[in-house]
Chain A
Amino acid sequence: MGSVYEVEHEQLGVHYALKAFTLEGGHVDVLENKFMTEGKVLARLRDPHLVRVFDLNYDEATGMPYFVMELVLSEDGRPRTLLDVNTAELDEDCVLQWFVELASVVDYIHREGVVHRDIKLGNVLLSSDGHVVLSDFGVSRLFSERLRSDVKAINTMVSETTTVARLVMGTQGYMAPEVARGKEATPAADSYSLGVMFVYLLTGIWYEPGSKVFKLLETLEYRWIDVLPRLLAEDPAERPMNLSELVELLRSVPAAAPEDKAEEPESPPRRKRRVILALAGAAAVVAAAVGYFVFFSRSAPSATDNSFDAAFSVRGIYEGARQ
């Protein structure tokens, strides 16, 4: 539904990400409204781990909407997501930091009345200093009446119309069981997706109900074993409502006995938390497996086609990453 470009503000000389609405068939009015809603919602949310939206407008040339947002680039100057991370370079402290950041931002959007509905590795951007930023609210659902009224939103779920069969939103593999069965996604569904994502980051194994991967979690340094199984509870009512409590639990109690922890080898001092990124094709294979969408659209203007707004000039098109 959208193509993402790197653009430069002509007057300010500052680079932004610009997401432009592109036609891909379907109910154009509904899709356009959904696109506008994404921009309006993001503009109202404020968190260091969310992409900020600065402008929402219509392209003069095509009449299509676009919104301008914060450009999140990794330390190699390219847009990267958690899909691009080389797990052979990951340590638990880094994963813990990401969990704290994502759990807090997911907690925040839930309190604001938004269910993301598509939390996955490919929708979490990495910033140049190794922090994570949640992106792509294209299939999010607003359950706060106030927010819906503020942004004059129609929800993206086709199921909320009365005539069409329920359409399941999200990505297979990350999807909560109740959502896969066709029930409406609640904040608990985001919690489940978060759990799937972090089981993978910690163990390299895709969680599936019945998996014995929790045995592996028991060997890790932090108390993931007290946190992730709760997020992955089959019954959404059993998943924790307050993610910040889990963060506190993880931070407060190390899994290893104190004497073991004291004798754990020290890592050499790090100059800077580095997120080593794999540029190899492996990420592309995983991306294809989880239904990662390429953001390049035939209907989108080319990188040299400066038609969005006189204020911006296009500097690049992101074919493998989205915001």
Chain B
Amino acid sequence: MSMFPPTSMTLLQKLAVEVTGGNEAAWVRFFNLYTPAIRRFVEWNDHVHDPDDVVQEVYLKLVEIIRSGKYDSDKARFRTFLALLIRRQLITLYRQDQTRHVADRCSIDDLTEELSVPSGQQEQVDLDWAKAKHEAAVEHVLTKVAMKQQSRDIYRAYMIENRPIDKISKTFNVSTDIIYKVKNRVNKMIEAVEMEYAEEKI
């Protein structure tokens, strides 16, 4: 079962407008929502290159494909397409490292054909995206959402560092009940951010 709702072309259309000199806000929003998840994907699959460089390469290629009008939403949902594009860019980078060729000789036509998704891969890609999305949402909540510093620290200690609850209780001088409440509250925030990712009209 898919972890993501089917994506529409709405935001891609806006991006296409952007690359032709239009909607900057759509691009900023897309960038803010997707960059952390794309970065996670890159980090899982590549330990050689600077992830920020790879993310940038992915965006450049994405804009190029959108500009060309070759992305076919009937062939692949956007997130699946994006996952394969990341993988393709990593392969290109490794090939470049080996051959010292600078240019990617693959044409946009070849690339979009290559990025068509074999049906068997769909579920794994969905699972990967769900994991990347969750991790990105956790990071987002702990670094972007306004809350008390102590709540952030308690959540990190309990849910991320897996420290024993009695020790956390002692360290922060709070009851275990409060720790559970912080956990539940921050989890609700994370769910809400994940929902924001999921609802994004791509």
- Which A residues form the contact surface with B (CB < 8 A)? 87-92, 94-95, 172-173, 201-206, 208, 210-213, 215-216, 218-221, 260, 263-268, 289-291
Contacts and interface: CB of A to CB of B under 8 A. Distances in A.
Given A172-B25, A205-B196, A263 B175 contact: yes
Given A206-B25, A212-B199, A264-B178, A92 B146 contact: yes
A11 B130 CA distance: 65
Interface of B: 23-29, 31-33, 140, 142-152, 154, 172, 174-175, 177-178, 181-182, 185, 188-189, 192-193, 195-196, 199, 201
A266 B148 CA distance: 8
Contact of A91 (B25, B146, B195): B146
Contacts of B146: 87, 90-92, 94-95, 201-203, 220
Given A202-B145, A213-B192, A263-B181, 15 more contacts: A92-B147, A92-B148, A172-B23, A203-B193, A204-B145, A208-B25, A216-B193, A219-B188, A220-B146, A264-B148, A264-B151, A265-B178, A267-B148, A289-B27, A289-B31
Nearest to B189: A219
Nearest to B27: A289
A216 B196 contact: yes
Chain B interface, DSSP helix/strand/loop, else mixed: helix
Contact of B178 (A88, A203, A218, A263): A263
A182 B112 CA distance: 39
A265 B154 contact: yes
Contacts of B174: 265
Contact of A265 (B32, B172, B188): B172
Nearest to A217: B192
A91 B177 contact: no
A201 to B, nearest CB: 7
A182 B99 CA distance: 54
A216 B145 contact: yes
Given A263-B177, A268-B150, A216 B144 contact: no
Contacts of A92: 146-148
A173 B24 contact: yes
B181 A264 contact: yes
B32 A205 contact: yes
A219 B29 CA distance: 22
Given A88-B142, A88-B144, A203-B145, A267 B25 contact: no
Instruction: List 8 tightest A-B contacts by C-beta distance, closest first.
Output: A204-B144, A216-B192, A173-B25, A215-B192, A88-B143, A289-B28, A90-B146, A212-B199
A264 B181 CA distance: 8
A264 B31 CA distance: 34
Nearest to A93: B148
7 contacts: A91-B148, A173-B25, A203-B145, A205-B32, A208-B26, A216-B192, A264-B151
